[in-house]
Structure 1
Amino acid sequence: MNIDMLIDGILDSYDRYGLINRNNTEDFPNRQNVVAVLSDLQSLIFPGFRSAENIDSVNIRYVTGQKVNNIIANLTKEIQKSLIYTSIRIKENPSGDITQSHCFKLAEKTSIALVEEIPEIRRKVQLDTIAAYNGDPAAHSNEEVVLSYPGVEAILVYRIAHFLYENGVPIIPRIMSEHVHGKTGIDIHPGAIIGESFFIDHGTGVVIGETCLIGNNVKIYQGVTLGALSVKKNLQNKKRHPTIEDDVTIYANATILGGETTIGRGSTIGGNTWITKSVEAKSVVTQG
């Protein structure tokens, strides 16, 4: 078989099965572009920590301005693509009667709104960082936590992705959350609602579902699943995942399932437990 025949076979599969991101046709967001924007956002939130940058008191305004402009320009393009694709291909406007300029304006407005939100995201992530430092005797400084703790990185990306999710941006929040999932082993759906001072210790194998509600000062360990009792498609718009109230600690490999399940304030959930019913405040739940 020659090279031309091999190419023909691949091209034939494109026609048969689709899933090609052609420019100006199936033009949906590009994962690499979204990840690049996410990297700029992380560097904006933690300057000098996420990439090799020469930052001092003289050039910090210039460096910050350069990143802000890059983020707005590049994120606007990707959000515009996601809005057009979703409107035409999925739900709102199957006839294709939608203008590029309308989506561009919405995309640009959302990108600017995210940049405006950066100080608030930094405030929340600082609290998450302090919670990690205070909650782990192995941590020696907040800077060490920022540089090396996968839980803090996953929560940071969640807070960015959640803002976009809450502002109606399709596809892109999931690209962001799945990118950091691949890096850290921590899977937080951007639709989850998570309070302040949230700490994930170690983190590998943590799963937090789309409709989870998590309060303030919650600490969870590796392997914890906050999941659904059923994954039937007709439950798509229902609350499927548990509510975790303030000041709860959940130890390794605990599984808590169901949209009606609430873990009451101040409770401790032991490792390897399986919970499908609500737990009263200040309870201690252990295996067996």
Structure 2
Amino acid sequence: MERMFNPRLKYLTDLLIKSYEEHAEIIKVDSLHLLNRERLVGILEKLRNLVFPGYFGKKGISFSSVEYYAGDILEEVLYALSKETARALQYNPYYGGLGKELLEEKAADISFRFLARLPEVREYLAQDVSAAFDGDPAAANLDEIISSYPGIYAIMAYRLAHILYDLEVPLIPRIMTEYAHNLTGIDIHPGAVIGHHFFIDHGTGIVIGETTVIGNYVKIYQGVTLGGLSTRGGQTLKGVKRHPTIEHHVTIYSGASILGGSTVIGEGVVIGSNAFVTKSVPEKTRVSVKNPELQFKSDGQSPPAHAELYQNEFWDWVI
């Protein structure tokens, strides 16, 4: 059906078409090679079903049927991921010149190698769930953590995406982690390297940059940034270590920012809330912002009892 002529609509359409022509770098038309984001989100959800069988997707799985359950999902994921990986590899200069058949063959191989590492992902996630339970007195049981903790979802998406990142698959890892970011408020770049028993408590507003290295048994709270000191160099900084290294058994409380590629937070360090750290911290040190003095006014009445407790010096070392 032809659209009735509307001069105002024609004017608006012409404006937009002109913009398309002037900024062709941000338009995709006449292209069958663009990745399907909805399909990739579906793949991520199916992978979650494989990583945590019985918690999501089909319920009532028994050990006698889990082989068929896993096999069916693996078949679906292998097919769909191979198709999307073939599209993604066209953004990798190393594979860009391959013909369609060779590209699909390479994508199928990468997808198989990725899925072969799912037991490794489950090993890490079992340790992450354990760390969450051990570190959070509010946690009732492991089921609650797996089913409802946003940190576990974000870590799961990261650990899956990191393997694809290691396999040099463009775009797909970032789509996965940004989907998790959208759901949880936790932004973990797939290029970051994160050890076992990683615990994110609450999580909203956490940012972990691409070249961050995090050791084992690390705990971080909401609002923490592990970032770069400056991005003014733009693309010239690609491949440069821009984000901090966090060694084992470190705790970072809410709102803290740790910045810079040469910044190393030593083993056993505790970083207090709202600290702004741009230099390395030696092991087994406590870092905090010096407590501000609070004033209490009570309309001529006596000050609240024990008001002085709010002015205690809790940390051993002040940055």
State the TM-score, normalized to the length of structure 1: 0.92
Offset at residue 266 of structure 1 (A): 0.4
Percent identical pairs in the alignment equals: 45
Partner of 1:285, secondary structure, is: strand
Q: Label 1:92 to 1:135 Cα distance change in 2 as closer, same or farther (>3 A).
A: same
State the TM-score, normalized to the length of structure 2: 0.83
Q: Which residue of structure 1 aligns with residue 61 of structure 2?
A: 55
> Which amino acid is 1:261 matched to?
T
Please say if residues 248 and 266 of structure 1, whose CA atoms lie closer than 8 Å, have aligned partners that are also in contact.
yes
C-alpha root-mean-square deviation of aligned residues, in Å? 1.9
Q: Which residue of structure 2 aligns with residue 43 of structure 1?
A: 49
The structure with the largest alpha-carbon Rg is 2
Offset at residue 21 of structure 1 (A): 4.2
- Which deviates the most, 75-84 or 49-58? 49-58
> Which amino acid is 2:167 matched to?
N
> Which amino acid is 2:136 matched to?
D
Offset at residue 20 of structure 1 (A): 4.1
> Which amino acid is 2:153 matched to?
E
- What aligned pairs does 1:202-213 form with structure 2 within 5 A after superposition? 202-213=202-213
Q: Please, which runs of 5 or more residues in structure 2 have no aligned partner?
A: 1-5, 291-319
Please say if residues 21 and 27 of structure 1, whose CA atoms lie closer than 8 Å, have aligned partners that are also in contact.
no
In the alignment, the residues of structure 1 paired with residue 68 and residue 229 of structure 2 have an alpha-carbon distance, to the nearest angstrom, of 50
Partner of 2:129, secondary structure, is: helix
Offset at residue 100 of structure 1 (A): 1.4
Q: Please, which runs of 5 or more residues in structure 1 have no aligned partner?
A: none
Offset at residue 197 of structure 1 (A): 0.2
In the alignment, the residues of structure 2 paired with residue 155 and residue 33 of structure 1 have an alpha-carbon distance, to the nearest angstrom, of 20
Q: Which residue of structure 1 aligns with residue 244 of structure 2?
A: 242
Greater length-normalized contact order (CA 8 Å, ≥ 6 residues apart) = 1
In the alignment, the residues of structure 2 paired with residue 206 and residue 12 of structure 1 have an alpha-carbon distance, to the nearest angstrom, of 40
Q: Which residue of structure 1 aligns with residue 177 of structure 2?
A: 177
Q: Which of 61, 65, 75 matches 2:71?
A: 65
In the alignment, the residues of structure 2 paired with residue 7 and residue 58 of structure 1 have an alpha-carbon distance, to the nearest angstrom, of 59
In the alignment, the residues of structure 1 paired with residue 29 and residue 204 of structure 2 have an alpha-carbon distance, to the nearest angstrom, of 36
Please say if residues 20 and 26 of structure 1, whose CA atoms lie closer than 8 Å, have aligned partners that are also in contact.
no
Offset at residue 149 of structure 1 (A): 0.4
- Which deviates the most, 109-118 or 272-281? 109-118
- Which deviates the most, 57-66 or 222-231? 57-66
> Which amino acid is 1:282 matched to?
K
Offset at residue 56 of structure 1 (A): 2.5
Residues matched between the structures, number? 281
- What aligned pairs does 1:254-265 form with structure 2 within 5 A after superposition? 254-265=256-267
Offset at residue 187 of structure 1 (A): 0.2
- What aligned pairs does 1:140-219 form with structure 2 within 5 A after superposition? 140-219=140-219
In the alignment, the residues of structure 1 paired with residue 285 and residue 156 of structure 2 have an alpha-carbon distance, to the nearest angstrom, of 30
